[in-house]
Structure 1
Amino acid sequence: MSPVEADVRTLEDRLSSFVSLAGHADDDRVLARAVRRSLLNPSAFVAATCSALRRPAGDVLAVGPVERRVLLLRRSGSSWAALSLSGSPLGEQPWPPAVSAELDFADPGAALSTVEVGPEAEFRLSRPVIKLVSLYHEENFPLPRFPLGISDLARAVRVAMTGQVELLDMQLGLDLDAVEARLRGEPFDILGISATFGQHDLLAELLGRLADLLGEPDGPRLVLGGSLCALNADLLLKSYPDAVVARGAGEPTMIDVVEHWHGDLAKEQIRNIRYRGDDTIEITPKVANKEYRDIWPELDLVERTLEYHGVMQLESSRGCTHACSFCPREHKGIWAGYEAPDLTRLLADIGPVYDRHPEIARKIFLVDEEFIGHDRRGEALQRAADVAVTLNQSGFRWETSSRVDQVHRPKEDAAWHHRRIDVWRKLRLNGLDRCLFGVESGVDSILKRFNKHVTAEQNVYAIRTLTGLGIPIRCTYITFDQLMTMDELIESYRFQGRRDLTLRPVPELTTEELFDLVRDEQEVKRYLRDRPFYEHISYMLVSMECLLRSPYLRRVEQAGLARDVLPSMGRRNAVFQDPRIGRMSDWAQRWVDHNFSLDYTLKSFEKVTTGQENEAVRRMRRALKTSAYAFLGRLLWLCLRDDSLLSSDEGPADAAFKREFGPWALTGTESDAADDDMLARLADFNLAELRSSLQGEFDRVCSTLVPTRVALLRESWQRWYERTDWTLINPPEQCVAE
């Protein structure tokens, strides 16, 4: 350890010594305190340092990823002070060759040293300047999620130790005007925009506003990414021919874009992209998930996300083990898992941020498509267990997603299932707070059409096993699809209402006893919670989205049901094989959209609360689900006049509903106006019931939440309560019958 390192024991001491070495001894301690909390955010650190020292931006640099950040402060001319925040020797940092050749440290073995920086090294450390923008519709999604997409890209650039990256997330107090002002406020070289479903309008408007800037001969390079851009790539390249569109994980793409900007790489060598060639759209080789291992994000925006009552997201794997027919897999890739040690380091940096926000539950949402993954010689199971232990030992509870066949597989023997029950039990003991499963349907013919490779019975056994273990579950479920029959819809509706799927927790049973119980239709009745399955469905009344390049869309096209492309959702509109189902789907979606913002607010609160707060929020969400299920039953009754379709928690058919709507029938052959008038009246009728039943739940939630959350919920409630229209969030209208 060098003498300088021996004196630098704390972070504040290191920063003070760093500032003093740069010739600002009078300001060292004041500055150290001012910038300490901005160290996870290099852009904020640079701004704070420049302001405190009254220095131009070019005199302060922060390079490298969060765990090996290096700060540079110009002393004069080519002489700089350099500080390795991790304490590792400056000379041992992985400087790129063109930079390393022009760095002359006075003490390369120290964490703090003066350094002579040559012109090419300074250029590559400070350029390109990259702005990464994440879009957001606040009116639809009131509370933020940590922006993994742009945070991962920032890390990819910083790991290469070249260039400067700033993150602009519209979730965190920025509208389009503010984003545009920030982008026009200072020169930059590369603009990356991440867009997901429902954000095409924001993307088009922002690019339209920046057309003059992007159209300059030496203007910024444009990189478009995210799920929506990957699906809409061909359309985007027609409008923005100079852009590149990422068609997979964006980190290799961004690394190559930076090298291309420096002239070290040709455009056709940039990995994972679509771009416009002379006459056609070209596609470059894709990097498999298993080949790029550094998936962890930078933490610039963690503090701001929590300040906005947001949800912390990470991922421990990418891709899925299977391809469902409705999922275009090209941009998601085949499953690959990543190891726990890097997560340990990351959580060590995130933990202190949570300490400053004690009102936010210490929960991490792992956005893995499939948490467990491939099970070859036990590596995947061990990896999952290691990740769980890491999160738990760092003081975090966590949520994730998995496939039903990670719980139950008909072709496997009892020993296999016993091992799986033990695995899920251990995950629960190590902080698994909830898990999402893509059930999608309880009808075998539909599951086959969706290429789920599971059966309805398999779904039943998996749900019973998980609930018997006391694992809270969420399930995705597609209620309507364009190729379904009325018999399938009725069977699917009845599956959602089944009361023999969820068990009370049974810790008194051994692994072997639980395995036997879930298959015993008589014995299992003793352990049922007697609650409808739909209470576990994340979003009720969902319709199939015919995503571009998905196998399901090809079937819809072959059936002659596909219509125009809807860029905002990366899909084609489609009509239904049965016009009556089309009408029901259309109005079910209007019901979903009408209630979406309130439901999303509650869903977000679920992720950041515990105990009494959490249970009150979940009760309110259950009331929303019950109303949605009743709405679907009434839609079916209007077609079939089957009173059994109106049964609910409270008993038989609602007499008031039958008196009001008995004369009507939904045949699918009446004019759109006549059907819409009736269905709008039905939606109003259902909504009046929901408002009445939800008021008490709302009051109870407000009595349990902390004041800041109460204010957010009251604002969302007021918007919901005052809304009277039944318009769709993402027009034009979808899935209407012809």
Structure 2
Amino acid sequence: MVEALTIKEEEALFLLTENSIIDEMRTVVEQFWLPPHKACAQIEKIIRLYTDDLSLKVMVSGETKNISLYIIGSSGVLALTPFSNIDSNVLLQKVYGESLLPKNRKWYIFPPDPRLIRRLTLPKVLLVNPCVLENFPVPRLSLSIGLLASYLRKYQKADVRIIDMQMGFTVKDIIDEALQFRPVLFGLSISFGQKGIALSILDEIYNARKPAITDPLIVLGNIIPAAFPSEFLERYPDSIVAHREGELTIMGLVEYLQGERELESVPGITFRNKLGNIQSTPNESVPMALIPLPALDTIEDLVRCKGALTLELSRGCQWNACTFCPREHKSSIWKTFPTEQILDQFIRLRQICDHFGLSRHVFLADEEFVGGMNDGLETERITGLSQELRRRDIGIHIDAAARVDQVYSPSMGTAWHIKRMKMWHLCRQAGLDRLFMGIESGSNAQLQRYGKGISAGHAVIAIRILSALGIPLRFGFIMFDQLMIGLKDLKENITFLERTDAFMKPIDVQEYGYEKLFELLLRDKDFVATFSANKPIYAGVSYMLATMEVLINSRYKVMLKHAERQYGKQLILDENTPDTNMGRYKVVFVDGLIKDISVSSQKWIDRHFGAAYTIKSAYKIAPEPERKYLMDWMIAYRSISLLLVKALVFIFDENENPEELFDIMTSGILEPNLPSSLGEFRNDSRKGNPVYRARLIEDCLNIFDRLVEVEMRKLKTLMELGEVTDTADGRLHAVLQRWQANKGMWVLINDADHASEHEVS
């Protein structure tokens, strides 16, 4: 065993081993959400109360279970590990070996071994999450940089700091921190739509890269750099682009900077080698059991901004066949945490919620909550997790996502469906507050183009089952795609979204039993009518009127290439130079009318996106009285959005009965001039002219915008009455002001050159 240092009682390190002082320091370190540098500052204050030895240095490293405190003096090093014993400390194991470390000790004073002192001099890493705050004003816990920071801390490999621009930090704040902190590695996570702000940060960092000030290795990760490494390496030749999972990559890069390995051996990177050629290394997947809780450095800011807690329990998707979803930057297999690890992370987050007064609600970022196990035991795994959540009374509520065929799959028998109903019912009892399903379309032809592997009817049955079990739902829906020809698919979508035979009232399972309830929901129209919630499907759609985005490396691009040969026309206009901000192609619509309706719908979305996103985000964490007001606004907005598309179909579909009037209503208020205006638009002989058609559609947008304005006034009144509360820095109020200021402006946010405004000529 490493011999304990023998020092005089009056020396500083010995003084600090007094039980009461150890307890004070332990209390600080046990706040596992504190960023290490803030924990160090609090420890230093405690030390100053008991000794005037200014030579003592403080370091905190590790995460949750293995957080460690080191106080480094000229005569030795005091190590304190409140969550574990000294002999399980990974840093000390590297220096001395586990067998030589003291057993059953929470603190220990080590001699001033040069190896230990050198190992405690951790390289500095600064990780940044850029964000265009105007587009995404309500934050969520950043998993991208949070998981990387936590992984480095777990193995005590680096002194990591985080800056998340969701919390209001500016480019100047980032540069100031880099100049003051002087990291050896500067990491930037660049997701969809964040390229512009990221380039601003990088340009400033490169301007500040002077050896005497700061000269970090620049590492770029997430979907955009991973998809376009050559573009970033052209602009920043000595940067490193990370692709796929980042934990082993960033660990390897830190080891490279420490001289412990060659750059070519670091997994999952693209870079310019010594010859100036672009080189990539193979990806390596980190075992899920080794991934810790994401770093919680930003939790105080998250509370201030009324943001949402997010967590990742699995990675990948077992389906891997949706044509709109690029998979190259994601895991090609589905994998999940062990159940005990999930429970431990929930317990940690419960501590966070209780300490900061947050609602015990976590939003899972998993692509697929249920997933696909190699042994086919998905139901048993979720059932076991739910049972443990209830047995331990953990009290965490979650939002999750699953495919329709995890609920209803006609290829599976009755026994499978009964087990699944029991599983989902238990999930609800264990804290499942809401489930997201990617329904995507009510047109079977469109669902086939999307590669969903389901029909619209399957989705209806799944909604019935889950809502009957009392599970609130929300849906993904892609109304338009570029291969849509004519109005048939669109009209099927409208009819589907208006169906009221999908959402059920909660039904007492004990009265019917799972098997009988399943059969009734599947086949008995009278039973369905009796228990219908009289709620249209569109009420659960997260974003109405969305258009297919043809993302790089997606299968839909391949379908467009086939269609190019079929129609003898170019459909992908920038195949070799795609939009590297949004990671998508500029594509042509086969049908000009569908193009016009789609583009106008996207302008409608973008006009209201800031308000809709902020209100939807506020709903996630609002207390119950506020949630109803916010949900009422969202449903009214979705209703108006669908009515807009119905009106456009009414205007342009020559086969539609002109005498049929739509219920152009919202919240009991009728727009007086709407029916006559729609009739005039329909009868206008100039509507076939593409230029005039665009003007006519914009007039229609302005009419329906007045209906949204009514809902905005209601929301503003609720805020003035204190029924709906804002963030501490007034983000909801600011969004409503911007909405009013932009009245009548119909532009595309992330599509300056109107990439979708093309059709086959």
TM-score scaled by length of structure 1: 0.89
Superposition pairs of residues 446-465 of structure 1, within 5 angstroms: 446-465=446-465
* Distance in 1, Cα, partners of 2:337 & 2:33: 26
Task: Specify the SS of the correspondent of 2:522.
Answer: coil
Q: What whole-Å deviation, never above 9, does each CA across 1:356-394 have from its counterpart, x for those lacking one?
A: 333x32111111110111155553223223443455522
For the 8 Å contact 1:289–1:318, the answer to whether it is kept is no
Task: Specify the SS of the correspondent of 1:513.
Answer: helix
Superposition pairs of residues 115-154 of structure 1, within 5 angstroms: 115-154=110-149
Superposition pairs of residues 313-712 of structure 1, within 5 angstroms: 313-323=310-320, 324-333=322-331, 334-358=333-357, 360-375=358-373, 377=375, 379-391=377-389, 393-486=393-486, 487-507=488-508, 508-520=511-523, 522-523=525-526, 524-558=528-562, 559=564, 560-564=570-574, 565-641=578-654, 642=656, 643=658, 646-647=662-663, 654-658=674-678, 661-664=681-684, 669-671=689-691, 674-696=692-714, 698-700=716-718, 703-706=722-725, 711-712=730-731
Which of 170, 173, 189 aligns to 2:184? It is 189
Equivalenced residue count is 717
Q: What whole-Å deviation, never above 9, does each CA across 1:176-201 have from its counterpart, x for those lacking one?
A: 11111111113110111112111010
- Relative distance call for 1:36 and 1:468 in structure 2 (3 A) is closer
- Relative distance call for 1:648 and 1:108 in structure 2 (3 A) is same
* Distance in 2, Cα, partners of 1:338 & 1:267: 30
Task: Specify the SS of the correspondent of 2:166.
Answer: coil
* Distance in 2, Cα, partners of 1:124 & 1:632: 63
Q: How far is 1:557 from its partner? A: 4.0
* Distance in 2, Cα, partners of 1:234 & 1:447: 34
Superposition pairs of residues 260-275 of structure 1, within 5 angstroms: 260-275=256-271
Which of 203, 206, 229 aligns to 1:211? It is 206
Task: Specify the SS of the correspondent of 1:356.
Answer: helix
Q: Which amino acid aligns with 1:381?
A: T
Q: What whole-Å deviation, never above 9, does each CA across 1:610-645 have from its counterpart, x for those lacking one?
A: 422222211111111111111111222332153558
Report what 1:46 is aligned to.
Answer: 40
* Distance in 2, Cα, partners of 1:500 & 1:361: 33
Q: What whole-Å deviation, never above 9, does each CA across 1:484-525 have from its counterpart, x for those lacking one?
A: 122222222222222222222222432122211232263222
Report what 1:312 is aligned to.
Answer: 309
- Relative distance call for 1:56 and 1:424 in structure 2 (3 A) is farther
Report what 1:92 is aligned to.
Answer: 88
Report what 1:11 is aligned to.
Answer: none
Q: What whole-Å deviation, never above 9, does each CA across 1:73-108 have from its counterpart, x for those lacking one?
A: 12226x22211121x321332237653379997x56
Report what 1:7 is aligned to.
Answer: none
Q: Which amino acid aligns with 1:124?
A: R
* Distance in 1, Cα, partners of 2:449 & 2:20: 72
For the 8 Å contact 1:224–1:245, the answer to whether it is kept is yes
Correspondence 1:286 to 2:283: yes
* Distance in 1, Cα, partners of 2:543 & 2:516: 33
Task: Specify the SS of the correspondent of 2:111.
Answer: strand
* Distance in 2, Cα, partners of 1:348 & 1:301: 19
* Distance in 2, Cα, partners of 1:46 & 1:126: 14
Superposition pairs of residues 152-231 of structure 1, within 5 angstroms: 152-214=147-209, 219-231=215-227
For the 8 Å contact 2:248–2:286, the answer to whether it is kept is no
Q: How far is 1:348 from its partner? A: 3.3
For the 8 Å contact 2:400–2:434, the answer to whether it is kept is yes
Report what 2:733 is aligned to.
Answer: 714
Q: How far is 1:546 from its partner? A: 1.0
* Distance in 2, Cα, partners of 1:456 & 1:480: 15
- Relative distance call for 1:705 and 1:587 in structure 2 (3 A) is same
Superposition pairs of residues 31-110 of structure 1, within 5 angstroms: 40-50=34-44, 59-76=57-74, 79-86=76-83, 88-95=84-91, 99-100=95-96, 109-110=104-105
Q: What whole-Å deviation, never above 9, does each CA across 1:133-179 have from its counterpart, x for those lacking one?
A: 11112111111101111111012212222221111111223111111
- Relative distance call for 1:471 and 1:340 in structure 2 (3 A) is same
- Relative distance call for 1:166 and 1:580 in structure 2 (3 A) is same
* Distance in 1, Cα, partners of 2:693 & 2:108: 76
- Relative distance call for 1:23 and 1:410 in structure 2 (3 A) is closer
- Relative distance call for 1:566 and 1:346 in structure 2 (3 A) is same
Q: How far is 1:289 from its partner? A: 6.3
* Distance in 2, Cα, partners of 1:194 & 1:421: 39
Q: Which amino acid aligns with 2:233?
A: L
Q: How far is 1:23 from its partner? A: 8.8
* Distance in 2, Cα, partners of 1:463 & 1:269: 49
* Distance in 2, Cα, partners of 1:699 & 1:131: 43
Q: How far is 1:574 from its partner? A: 1.3
Q: What whole-Å deviation, never above 9, does each CA across 1:526-552 have from its counterpart, x for those lacking one?
A: 222222211111111111111111111
Q: What whole-Å deviation, never above 9, does each CA across 1:44-73 have from its counterpart, x for those lacking one?
A: 212444567679899221122221111011
* Distance in 1, Cα, partners of 2:71 & 2:474: 50
* Distance in 2, Cα, partners of 1:57 & 1:390: 49
- Relative distance call for 1:66 and 1:375 in structure 2 (3 A) is closer
Task: Specify the SS of the correspondent of 1:684.
Answer: helix
For the 8 Å contact 2:129–2:165, the answer to whether it is kept is yes
For the 8 Å contact 1:580–1:666, the answer to whether it is kept is no
For the 8 Å contact 1:340–1:387, the answer to whether it is kept is yes
For the 8 Å contact 2:461–2:521, the answer to whether it is kept is yes
- Relative distance call for 1:734 and 1:646 in structure 2 (3 A) is farther
* Distance in 2, Cα, partners of 1:363 & 1:589: 31
Q: How far is 1:474 from its partner? A: 0.7
Q: How far is 1:240 from its partner? A: 2.2
* Distance in 1, Cα, partners of 2:420 & 2:431: 17
Task: Specify the SS of the correspondent of 1:320.
Answer: coil
CA-atom RMSD in angstroms: 3.2
Report what 1:10 is aligned to.
Answer: none
For the 8 Å contact 1:62–1:71, the answer to whether it is kept is yes
* Distance in 1, Cα, partners of 2:104 & 2:741: 65
For the 8 Å contact 1:580–1:668, the answer to whether it is kept is no
Any unmatched runs of 5+ in structure 2? Answer: 5-10, 565-569
Q: How far is 1:683 from its partner? A: 1.6
Q: Which amino acid aligns with 2:222?
A: G
For the 8 Å contact 1:636–1:645, the answer to whether it is kept is no
For the 8 Å contact 2:74–2:112, the answer to whether it is kept is no
Superposition pairs of residues 228-267 of structure 1, within 5 angstroms: 228-267=224-263
Q: Which amino acid aligns with 1:46?
A: C
* Distance in 1, Cα, partners of 2:25 & 2:121: 22
